[in-house]
Amino acid sequence: MNNIFKLFVPILFVVFMVPVHGQEQLFSLDDCISYALENNTMIGRAENDVLSQYSQLEQRKAERGPNLILSANESVSSNNTYDSSTAGWNRETNNNMNVSLSSNIVLYNGAKIRNAILQGKMNVSAAETEVKTEKELLSLDILANYITVLQAKEQMKNTQSQLESTAKELEEATIRREAGVMSPADYLNIKSQHSADKAALVSSQSTLRIALVTLMQTMNMPVSSSFDIMVPNEQSFVKMSMETDPAVVYNVALGIQPGIKTAELDLESAEMDIQLAKVDALPYLSLNGGVQSNYYSGSDLGFNEQLSNQLTPTIGLSLSIPIYQRKEVKNKVKQAFISRDNYRFNLVDTKNDLRKSIEQACTDAQTANSAYLSYKEQYLAEQESFKLAEEMFSQGMLSSVDYLTSKNNLIEAENNLTKAKYEMVLQKEIIEYYMGKAIAF
């Protein structure tokens, strides 16, 4: 008995330690958005642009300080000299070395470095807001596809319920036909409806699969048959109250949308380009200094002695005053003004595009809300109508054609209600995005 127990314990341990691969992770909306943000190449490039702008800003800041350059030159010379004592020519080879340490710092250049630093900070901020814009646009795409999957899931569930209901009706119809209380025509109508519901289920399953594939591709996730999403509580995302006044939404969005902020920063950077272009017409003053020494192998003095005794320090000012530049600066300034105007137009276009998008979103939200209420009322009416038709059909007081017509009307009303519900959810989330709220259920 003990031996059996000793043998059985390791087996149990192995069985319980083996991971269960059948239970795959269900992705919530936050999971899908997080995965997409981590694997999106456009966001990666936008983040690299931020790093690039930071690097350029550091370089502009470093230009305020002095540089330091160490240089050394060595040359070898060979020449013939006449020796009178031997009455002959001798070739002598000598080394000549020059070592110098120099530095230079800008004293005045028309505030070019200061303006360049300010522009660099603007460029960093613009790059950061561009990253935020890319993330929000991707999150909206994920949201739309996620809602499409939810809608496809509910429609497939409805189709499944319809098929189960029709299957029971077909069983009852078979019994009634065999008992001789149902006409062949009514029986065939029920059977035909059953086949139609089976085809509808296959179609809804295909629609769901396509929606899942689209969501995975938007996430940049390899397509997997085991991928599935979490269905949230309907009460958490189906809310009737929402702001649908375009003016209110636009005024809020104008101050928080990253696309507007990016356009404003681009315009400020273009304004700074004008100042930087004008600087090239101003004087340039720099302070330079250094120290150098020489060594000559033909000298009777040693290496260290020559270097230490021939140290030559220097210090000086360098002034450059542009007098005539063949209209180069004038044209650079003109081009900078043109570029500034184009960025100003871009800001106006960005604001107009935002306003138009909000106006369309508010209109769609109002339409979706009205459609949802209308289809909900229709669905409730069709439910009552079908209950009556079902009761009359079971008592033989209604033909199969009228019964199936009532049932199909109920199915159509249910499908319309489902579509309207998720359209209303999507439009509500879009408006909340414009209002600065997080994309989440």
What confidence tier does 21 reach under pLDDT thresholds 50, 70, 90? very low
User: What pLDDT score does 78 carry?
Assistant: 74
Q: Mean pLDDT across the stretch 31-44?
A: 95
Asked whether the predicted pLDDT for residue 224 surpasses 70, the reply is yes
Q: What is the pLDDT of residues 289-346, one digit of tens each?
A: 999 999 888 777 888 888 888 889 999 999 999 998 889 999 999 999 999 999 999 9
User: What pLDDT score does 236 carry?
Assistant: 65
Q: Mean pLDDT across the stretch 63-85?
A: 84
Q: Mean pLDDT across the stretch 119-138?
A: 95
CA end-to-end distance (rounded Å), the chain: 57
Q: What is the pLDDT of residues 247-270, one digit of tens each?
A: 999 999 999 999 999 999 999 999
What confidence tier does 183 reach under pLDDT thresholds 50, 70, 90? confident
CB 290 within 8 Å of CB 100:
yes
pTM of the model: 0.81
> Cα torsion at 54, 59, 62, 66 (round to 10°)?
170
User: What pLDDT score does 27 carry?
Assistant: 94
CB 56 within 8 Å of CB 130:
no
Alpha-carbon span 19 to 432, nearest angstrom: 41
Q: Where are the beta strands (DSSP E) in 22-85?
A: 26-27, 67-83
User: What pLDDT score does 357 carry?
Assistant: 95
Asked whether the predicted pLDDT for residue 8 surpasses 80, the reply is no
Helix (H, G, I), strand (E, B) or coil at 351: helix
What confidence tier does 28 reach under pLDDT thresholds 50, 70, 90? very high
What DSSP state is assigned to residue 86?
A: T
Asked whether the predicted pLDDT for residue 274 surpasses 60, the reply is yes
Alpha-carbon span 344 to 348, nearest angstrom: 6
Q: Which of 3-17, 28-42, 281-295 has the least mean pLDDT?
A: 3-17
Alpha-carbon span 82 to 85, nearest angstrom: 9
CB 212 within 8 Å of CB 227:
yes
Q: Mean pLDDT across the stretch 161-187?
A: 88
Q: From residue 430, give the alpha-carbon distance in Å to each of 253, 269, 360.
A: 12, 31, 11
User: What pLDDT score does 242 carry?
Assistant: 78
What confidence tier does 243 reach under pLDDT thresholds 50, 70, 90? confident
Q: Which of 2-11, 126-135, 151-160 has the least mean pLDDT?
A: 2-11
Cα dihedral across residues 172, 178, 183, 188: positive or negative: positive
**What is the full DSSP assignment across 219-258?**
TTPPP-TT-EE----HHHH--------HHHHHHHHHHH-H
Which CATH architecture is the domain 28-64+109-282+328-434 placed in? Up-down Bundle (1.20)
Helix (H, G, I), strand (E, B) or coil at 182: coil
Cα dihedral across residues 46, 52, 56, 59: positive or negative: positive
Q: What is the pLDDT of residues 54-73, one digit of tens each?
A: 999 999 999 999 999 999 99
CB 344 within 8 Å of CB 274:
no
CB 80 within 8 Å of CB 94:
no
The residue with greater pLDDT, 38 or 393, is 38
Q: Name the token pair of 431.
A: 């408006």
CA 335 to chain centre: 33
Q: What is the residue-averaged pLDDT of the chain?
A: 88
CB 229 within 8 Å of CB 148:
no
Alpha-carbon span 168 to 243, nearest angstrom: 46
Paired strand residues for 72: 99
Residue 211: which residues within 8 A CB-CB, separation 6 or more? 145, 148, 149, 151, 152
* Segment of 84-88, 179-183, 393-397, 419-423 carrying the highest mean pLDDT: 419-423
